[in-house]
């Protein structure tokens, strides 16, 4: 008896592993063959002699309102006190993690202002910006209102106002700058360049590899990132800024930190340079800063060399736009190419996946609800045969707990990854624990099947003693199977390969 249970359970577990593999899509990122060779480590900006260094001027700060279509937002202006005018200006465009001037770009804006550049950090418009819905074209039009306002301020040279975009903002800036002479120059910091869905898959892969997760977890990346999410929306995930980049004729300062695991630091820079060439634009400068993160910071402090170079590049335009060295800093490394993400098959799209999840857990609740109702009505008789109850509970509870455990495990790993931390015991041990619980559910199911079959063969009392028992048995088994298939889809069960 034990031998056949062990063999059948092993076959069932491996079978679920095979189901997970063949249900697709797979994940096999392509190594990046090309590279960018950095020959000069000094990031200082060529052609910037005679520009005022950071700290030359005291800075005055003021708040203005920017009129947008249907609303207004506040913006903070920082101006150099006593600087001869007219001065260049910079409008900052937020990334996904920022939205208000009180917490975004304060160090960059103040550093530029202290060197003689008038800076403006508007609040992000949030009434049209949600997790599922946003338009980078509409956002570009909103930020252009800030450019227009800054160009009209006293002491600002309207022909020398540019835009600074970081992370998500680097998808917005090309829309603002394409065929638009009102934007005099652009600064792209930690620019994803590829569409958001591709960038997200690249970032998740990079973070998870750094954390040391098992390969089966990596296989789930396109199954999460590539699907259509429940309720629809998220059209912006497929936004491609390349058409706009190929119409940018302004000087561009491209900046990455070599400690930024979220961005395709080599591929992104190369694509920007190639896209600018399509527009006949060769006025670009590329800098890589050793160990700097997504915001060009180390230990949450803006890198002084970056602030120095940013100010020098802006102040020295147009000479700095094509001054040597064009590429300088630390040597970047990008292991894999950011590429289009395969879509899951129809049965694993967001709405169906969510419906399956709800159906699975809902079915598991039928048995306990039936038991509660019967108890309230004074019916205390057992509805299932004694030999059936234990394996049924093991199967149902194992499937339910394993799926909850998988979600908890992924959240913990995501927290480790985003904070650039590793914990091999937690990463490997947590995954093993999820697998053990899921496999125990399979073993419970196998024992349940054999006990029902043996009971029928021996002519003993049926597994379900009443209609309530039949419902309890059917829904518990059905719900467990649904959850086990979901666990298989997300790679919980091992394979021989």
Q: In whole angstroms, what is the distance from residue 464 CA to residue 386 CA?
A: 10
pLDDT top residue among 420 and 477: 477
Task: Give the confidence band of 159 by pLDDT, cuts at 50, 70, 90.
Answer: very high
**Per-residue pLDDT for 260 more than 80?**
yes
Q: Which helix (H) or strand (E) holds 213?
A: none
Q: Using the predicted structure, report yes or no on whether residue 461 has a pLDDT greater than 70.
A: no
Q: How many residues does the chain have?
A: 497
In tens, the pLDDT along 39-69 reads: 899 999 998 888 899 999 999 999 999 999 9
Q: How confident is the model at residue 379 (pLDDT cuts 50, 70, 90)?
A: low
Terminal alpha carbon distance of the chain: 29
Grouping H, G, I as helix, E, B as strand and the rest as coil, residue 128 is: coil
pLDDT band at residue 246 using 50, 70 and 90 as cut-offs: very high
CA nearest neighbour of 313 among 166, 188, 152, 176? 188
Q: Which residues sit opposite 164 in a β-bridge?
A: 92, 187
pLDDT of residue 232: 83
pLDDT of residue 238: 95
pLDDT of residue 459: 61
> Would you say 21 and 489 are in contact if contact means Cβ atoms under 8 Å apart?
no
Domains and CATH numbers, the chain: 2-24+347-489 (no CATH), 59-195+239-329 (3.40.50.1820)
pLDDT for residue 41: 96
Query: In the block, which residue shows the tokens 């890198």?
Result: 303
Beta strands across the sheet bearing 252-257: 59-68, 71-80, 118-122, 87-93, 156-166, 186-189, 252-257, 284-289, 327-329
pLDDT in tens, 333-366: 999 999 999 999 888 888 999 999 999 999 999 8
Query: Exposed (0-12), middle (13-18) or buried (19+): which is 63, by Cβ within 10 Å?
Result: exposed
Residue 465 above 70 pLDDT?
no
Whether the predicted pLDDT of 478 surpasses 70? yes
Pairwise CA distance, residues 7 & 13, whole Å: 10
pLDDT in tens, 80-138: 999 998 999 999 999 987 788 998 999 999 999 999 999 999 999 999 999 899 999 99
- Collapsing DSSP to helix, strand or coil, 310 comes out as helix
Cα 168 from Cα 245, distance rounded (Å): 15
Q: Which has more confidence, 457 or 199?
A: 199
Whole-number pLDDT of residue 472:
78
pLDDT tens-digit profile of 206-238? 999 989 999 889 989 999 999 988 888 899 999
Which of 253, 67, 237, 239 lies closest to 144 in space, CA to CA?
Answer: 67
Q: Are 200 and 225 in contact (CB under 8 A)?
A: yes
Q: What pLDDT, on the 0 to 100 scale, is given for residue 497? A: 62
Of 418 and 486, more confident = 486
Average pLDDT over residues 257-264: 94
Helix (H) or strand (E) holding 32: none
Per-residue pLDDT at 266 exceeds 90 = yes
**Omega into 383 within 30° of 0, i.e. cis?**
no
In the predicted model, is pLDDT for residue 392 greater than 70?
Answer: yes
Q: Which of 270-284, 318-332, 444-458 has the lowest mean pLDDT?
A: 444-458
Q: Give the residue, 147 or 98, on which the prediction is more confident.
A: 147
Write out pLDDT tens, residues 4-47. 888 998 999 999 999 999 998 989 999 999 899 998 999 999 98
- What is the average pLDDT across 422-437? 93
The whole-number pLDDT of residue 381 equals 62
Bond into 86 cis (ω within 30): yes
Render pLDDT for 365-378 as a digit per residue (tens, 0 to 9): 987 787 666 666 76
Q: Is the dihedral of CA 55, 60, 61, 66 positive or negative?
A: negative
């Amino acid at each position: 008896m034990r031998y056949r249970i062990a063999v059948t359970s092993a076959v069932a577990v491996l079978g679920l592993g095979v189901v997970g593999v063949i249900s697709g899509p797979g994940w096999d990122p392509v190594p990046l063959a090309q590279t960018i060779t950095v020959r000069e480590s000094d990031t200082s900006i060529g052609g910037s002699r005679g520009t005022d260094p950071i700290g030359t001027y005291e800075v005055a700060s003021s708040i203005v309102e920017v009129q947008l279509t249907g609303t207004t937002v506040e913006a903070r202006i920082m101006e150099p006190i006593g600087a001869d005018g007219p001065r260049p200006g910079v409008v900052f465009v937020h990334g996904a993690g920022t939205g208000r001037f009180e917490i975004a770009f304060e160090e960059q804006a103040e550093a530029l202002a202290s060197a003689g550049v008038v800076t403006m950090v508007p609040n992000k418009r949030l009434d049209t910006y949600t997790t599922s819905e946003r338009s980078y074209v509409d956002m570009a039009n909103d930020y252009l209102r800030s450019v227009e306002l800054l160009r009209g301020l006293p002491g600002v040279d309207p022909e020398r106002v540019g835009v600074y975009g970081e992370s998500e903002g680097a998808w917005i800036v090309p829309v603002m700058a394409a065929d638009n002479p009102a934007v005099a120059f652009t600064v792209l910091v930690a620019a994803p360049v590829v569409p958001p869905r591709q960038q997200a898959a690249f970032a998740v892969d990079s973070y998870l590899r750094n954390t040391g997760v098992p390969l089966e977890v990596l296989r789930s990346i396109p199954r999460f990132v590539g699907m259509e999410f429940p309720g629809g929306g998220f059209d912006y995930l497929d936004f491609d800024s390349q058409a706009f980049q190929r119409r940018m004729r302004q000087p561009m300062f491209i900046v990455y930190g070599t400690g930024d695991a979220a961005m395709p630091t080599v591929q992104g820079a190369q694509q920007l340079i190639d896209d600018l060439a399509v527009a006949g634009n060769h006025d670009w400068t590329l800098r890589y800063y050793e160990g700097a993160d997504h915001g060009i910071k180390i230990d949450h402090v803006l890198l002084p060399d970056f602030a120095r170079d940013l100010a020098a590049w802006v102040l020295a335009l147009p000479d700095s736009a094509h001054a040597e060295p064009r590429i300088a800093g630390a040597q970047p490394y990008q292991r894999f190419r950011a590429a289009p993400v395969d879509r899951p098959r129809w049965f694993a799209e967001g709405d169906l996946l969510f419906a399956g999840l709800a159906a699975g857990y809902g079915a598991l609740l039928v048995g306990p609800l039936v038991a509660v109702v019967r108890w309230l009505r004074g019916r205390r008789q057992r509805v299932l045969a004694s030999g059936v109850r234990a394996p049924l509970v093991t199967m149902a509870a194992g499937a339910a707990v394993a799926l909850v455990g998988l979600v908890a495990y992924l959240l913990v790993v995501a927290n480790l990854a985003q904070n650039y931390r590793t914990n091999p015991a937690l990463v490997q041990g947590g995954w093993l624990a999820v697998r053990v619980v899921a496999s125990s559910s399979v073993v419970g199911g196998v024992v349940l099947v054999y006990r029902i079959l043996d009971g029928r063969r021996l002519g003993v009392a049926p597994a379900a003693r009443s209609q309530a028992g039949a419902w309890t048995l059917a829904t518990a088994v059905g719900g467990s199977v649904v959850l086990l298939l979901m666990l298989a889809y997300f790679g919980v069960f091992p394979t021989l390969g």
